[in-house]
Amino acid sequence: MTLESRPRRLTTPQDLVEAGIAAPERVPELEAVARRYAIGVTPALAKLIDPGDPADPIARQFVPNPRELIRDPAERDDPIGDDAMSPVKGLVHRYPDRVLIKLAAVCAVYCRFCFRRERVGPGSGLLSAADFAGALDYVRAHPAIWEVILTGGDPLTLSPRRVAETTQALAAVSHVKVLRWHTRLPVAAPERVTKAMAHALMTEGKTTVVALHANHPREFTEAARDACRRLAAEGAMLVSQSVLLKGVNDDAETLIDLMRAFVEARVKPYYLHHGDLAPGTAHWRVSIAKGQELMRVLRARLSGFATPTYMLDIPGGRGKAPIGPQWIRCGEDGKHMVMDPQGVEHAYVDRLGADR
């Protein structure tokens, strides 16, 4: 295959039309969205879109929709409060034992529901060497920091050389024990997750975690599974992140298939996020009540290690909270009522030994 004939990333409305993903008459509305929010669809994901299905769950995640320009009054440019928790540029310190470092403000693919959609896209660039040095100094000065989370954008859009330099710089900080990389690349551009990239994430004496974002089981092509295998083969721990999205995965069968696909790819299901209050994303959000009911079904039908935790990121930088259904409540006379996977309640009484 010549360089000219190689499939390329789609970054404009016209690209989407030429690829058969969008109808020509949609160009004006797509351009209106593109003037505000970046477009990016990789060849791997473009191949998964069924242009004949108006409700295609892959297209719904990545093809612009004019409803993105409709802003709910509760939506925020910074919905999870990164700015309020950023003591130095590019670093967020929300929890005592871990920090985020935003290495890149670009992604291989731009999710239409992204909670950092106001901050990422072409021209947003990378964290400068000076700003990374400042973030590294901050980490060194705070011995309570046990874990560093590398995010963005997508930090694996960087070269293996740059990734390795970041890994080694952080590994030199003795109190940092865990490096966690947040990425979509194994499903969005699996060919870029090479053995060299996987090796660049690893360092002696530290635990490397890769948090993979995927929302639909169709994203797990054989190439995506191979990318996960390469990461696992180098010694990375893989965990999942998904967002509960209307029209994508807001039914039990899709979520069950997604969680099983993660496990089959050696990825531990970790978080199912409730949709954040990012601008123009209301049409993707699912009610908390529906999310809780879906989690009841997942808990009844999946193994414990295949069941994610349903999480809400509290606006204003207050952190994440699990919002799954409650399985136990305090009943009369100090008895607890605990619900089994079929939804039937049973009495349970604490039996505590006497203090000595």
Which residues are part of the catalytic machinery?
A: 94-95, 98, 107, 111, 114, 116, 276, 313, 320
Are the C-beta atoms of 224 and 202 separated by less than 8 Å? no
Are the C-beta atoms of 293 and 287 separated by less than 8 Å? no
Measured between alpha carbons, how far is 181 from 303 in angstroms, rounded to an integer? 26
Instruction: Give 3-state DSSP helix, strand, coil % of the chain, rounded to 5.
Output: 35, 20, 45
Which residue pairs from 294-297 have beta carbons closer than 8 angstroms and sit at least 24 positions apart in sequence? Answer: 294/244, 294/250, 294/251, 294/252, 294/255, 295/324, 295/325, 296/325, 296/343, 297/252, 297/256
Measured between alpha carbons, how far is 66 from 185 in angstroms, rounded to an integer? 26
Q: Which residue has the tokens 């935790």?
A: 309
Are the C-beta atoms of 109 and 62 separated by less than 8 Å? yes
Q: Is the peptide bond preceding residue 153 cis, with omega within 30 degrees of 0?
A: yes
CB atoms within 10 A of CB 195: 12
- Cα torsion at 80, 82, 85, 87 (round to 10°)? 180
Nearest to 278 by CA among 321, 313, 251: 313
